[in-house]
Amino acid sequence: MNNELHRWSALQLVRALATRELSVLQLATALIERSVALDASFHAWAWFDAKRARREARALDARAATGPLHGVPIAVKDNIDTAGIPTSYGSAIYAGNVPLIDAACVSLARAAGAWVLGKTVTTELANMTPGPTRNPRNLEHTPGGSSSGSAAAVAAGLAPLALGTQTAGSVIRPAAFCGIVGYKPSPRRVARAGVKANSDSLDEVGVLARCVDDAALLGLTLAGRAGATLPSAEAYAPRVGMTLTSRASMASASTVAMLDVTAQRLSAAGAIVRELAWPASFDALFDAQRAVQLFETARALAAEWQYRRAQLSAELASFLAEGRRISGEAYCAALATARRAGAALDTLFVELDVIIAPAAPGAAPRGLASTGDPVFNRPWQLLGCPCVAVPSGRDENGLPLGVQVIGRPGDDEKLLGVAAWIEARL
């Protein structure tokens, strides 16, 4: 059994741990052995301590179940604080930093019975400069970012669940590149206290998993909805809008074909699928999201810029310099663009349950110099739409492609239900 535990879903693990069919130590041992054997190739872990993992597993086995995630190990992105565990935010500036308390999301996961198996590599300060993580589907390709290690850890079977964060596309894009599920919730649904800030308007805590039910299990627990019905139980044929947005020219041929095939398969399964006309007024969202992110990140990282600039990469320093050049007027105009589009969002969702769009322009780019382009994530992030990345085929080179399933802000339960329905048909 130990040799196959990395394949088990989080839900399977929850049930086996609850009945004591499986001990936490057995599970920890299996995942430790897998990490020791494989992570030298993937570099998903920023911090991993096998002895500590075994101690925590034994302690959990010695006490009664404490919540719906009792005994389930999670991987935590290294821009999220963990008490007594090094948290360097992917930056030399914070080497050796050990927080005294957990981030709120980690604390809530622990309260539900989960435990931290390890910390996963993030890009520098959760921005664009990559770390050493490779894509488990092809080591010559990026896993995406900034939740690089979290996506790789789940895809490689090093952990069943992982926490990530998204400011533009940092959960959805890595999930698509690594062939797994990513869930980015509606704004403020998951508490952000204790997460290294980049953009107050845009930052969100998300979940990476191998199926929609697993992502919902952790995501709903963190949102205070631990008793909610699992998405796969919401069985109905949805009304789906399909769009390549106005940036269709940036999508690869494989991505365009993938979206068409996805629409055909969903329609054949009973969904009502129609192509959306992208509103011209929404075109400004792409640049507006980037302006908001640049402006806010330059100010969130003002201390690093002011006092530790020599320890920043040239890429991040350039990004922050660009953000510092954006005027307050331009920033306010970008926020106004978001408000206007948000007020018109219902017109896009008329008679629709969800919208589907590319999760990324294509499959994971070759090389580790870039984490890919978040262009297809930008408008939805600025609008506050919850999103789920669902694996949807492969490109001509066998690399995973993902469809982005998008819901109305606040409609997370419906979104997850539809995403599970779509997952089952893809």
Name all domains of the chain by residue range, CATH numbers in brackets. 1-426 (3.90.1300.10)
Specify the residue for token string 């066998």: 398
pLDDT at 232: 87
Q: Cis peptide before 146, with omega less than 30 degrees from 0?
A: yes
CA distances from residue 47 to 52, 116, 122, 149 in whole angstroms, order as listed: 11, 11, 11, 11
73-77 β-sheet, strand order: 45-48, 115-120, 73-77, 161-166, 204-209, 181-184, 387-394, 400-406, 354-358, 239-242, 272-275
Marked catalytic residue, from 91, 148, 170, 186:
170
Q: Kindly calculate the radius of gyration of the chain based on its CA atoms and give it in whole angstroms.
A: 20
- Our CA angle for 91, 94, 100, nearest 5°, is 135
In which band, very low, low, confident or very high, does the pLDDT at 228 lie, cut at 50, 70 and 90?
confident
Taking the C-alpha atoms of residue 406 and residue 116, their distance in angstroms, rounded to an integer, is 29
Residue type, 329: E
What amino acid is encoded at 163 in this protein? L
Contact 357, 422 (CB under 8 A): no
Q: Which of 107, 146, 150, 392 is flagged as catalytic?
A: 146
Active site residue 318: no
**pLDDT 10s digits, 245-257:** 999 999 999 999 9
> Residue 396: enclosing H or E segment and its boundaries?
none
3-state secondary structure (DSSP) of residue 45:
strand
| pTM (global) more than 0.75 | yes
What CA–CA distances, in Å, run from 173 to 37, 220, 406?
Answer: 27, 21, 14
**pLDDT of residue 148 exceeding 90:** yes
Residues 286, 379: Cα–Cα separation, whole Å: 6
Does 184 qualify as catalytic in the annotation? no
Is-contact 194 81, C-beta < 8 A? yes
Whether residue 301 is predicted with pLDDT greater than 70 in this model: the reply is yes
Q: What is the pLDDT of residue 200?
A: 98
Helical spans, DSSP H, in 201-327: 212-222, 253-268, 284-300, 302-307, 314-325
- 77 is a catalytic site residue: yes
> Taking residues 68-97, what's their average pLDDT?
98
pLDDT above 80: residue 163: yes
Q: Does residue 1 have a pLDDT over 90?
A: no
Q: Could you report the per-residue pLDDT of 32-75, keeping only the tens digit for each? A: 999 999 999 999 999 999 999 999 999 999 999 989 999 999 99
Residue 215's nearest CA partner among 223, 207, 203 is 207
| pLDDT given for residue 284 in this prediction | 98
Residue 233 has pLDDT above 90, yes or no: no
